[in-house]
Each structure stands twice: as C-alpha cells, then as structure tokens.
C-alpha cells in the first residue's frame, strides 16, 4: 500500500466533505462521525464533484442530478446513478489524513 498525506484532520469537519487531488486524481474525503472515508470525487452519472454534495447518514447526494452513493462501500443508493464509486483505504496518524490511491476498488 502506498499511502500519501492529503490533508490534516481539521480540514474535514464532522459531517462534511473535502475534495483533494493527488497525481491528478480527484478524491472526496468524508468525515462520518469522526471516521474519515474516501471515494472518487466524480459522480459516475455526470461529471460533477461529490464533495460538493449533501452528506447524510453515510450517503452522499450529488447536486447535479440527485444520485446517491454509500460513502463506505461506494454502492449506488438512488438513481440516476447506476455505477458504484471507487473507494480508497484511509488511515489517520495523529492529525494527518492519508489515502492509498493505488488500492482503490469498486464494490459492485
């Protein structure tokens, strides 16, 4: 695994999302009850940032066409989205958030 530091923990307030980019790959970070989760930032239905969406109960809602995804698994929760998101391993060390960009996977 190749974890890379992407931000500090304070940059992702609880219940919020943050868009980060490393190696030209946009990633959305989500703070779900103190747990940091990471998915691809782009909605699979339209070219839109999920970090700008609405996060509620572990589900992110895209503001372009209102598709919904589980931020833990990447699975589609509501159409028009029809393809799951890539999810990435995350670790927090002290105040630093790391994402393993090389080990992302899609859970169909």
User: In this structure, what CATH number is given to the domain that contains residue 54?
Assistant: 2.102.10.10
Q: pLDDT for 23-44, tens place per residue? A: 788 999 999 999 999 999 999 9
- If phi > 0 it is left, if psi is from -120 to 50 it is alpha, else beta; for residue 94 that is left
- Residues 6 or more apart whose CB falls under 8 angstroms from that of 72 comprise 32, 37, 58, 87
Q: Looking at residue 10, what is its pLDDT? A: 96
**Structure confidence by residue, pLDDT tens digits, 85-103:** 999 999 999 999 999 998 9
The CB density around residue 105, as the number of other CB atoms within 10 Å, is 11
User: For residue 10, what are the β-bridge partners?
Assistant: none
Percent pLDDT > 70 in the chain is 99
Query: Domain range holding 97?
Result: 3-106
Residues 87, 58, 16: CA angle, nearest 5 degrees: 90
Count of structural domains within the chain = 1
């Amino acid at each position: 695994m190749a974890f890379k530091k992407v931000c500090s923990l304070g940059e992702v307030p609880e219940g919020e999302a943050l868009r980060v980019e490393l190696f030209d790959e946009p990633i959305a970070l989500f703070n779900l009850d103190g747990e940091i989760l990471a998915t691809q930032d782009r909605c699979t239905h339209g070219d839109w940032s999920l970090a700008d969406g609405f996060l509620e109960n572990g589900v992110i809602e895209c503001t372009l066409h209102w598709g919904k995804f589980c931020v833990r698994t990447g699975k589609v929760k509501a159409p028009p989205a029809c393809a799951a998101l890539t999810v990435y391993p995350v670790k927090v060390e002290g105040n630093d958030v790391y994402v393993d960009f090389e080990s992302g996977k899609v859970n169909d």
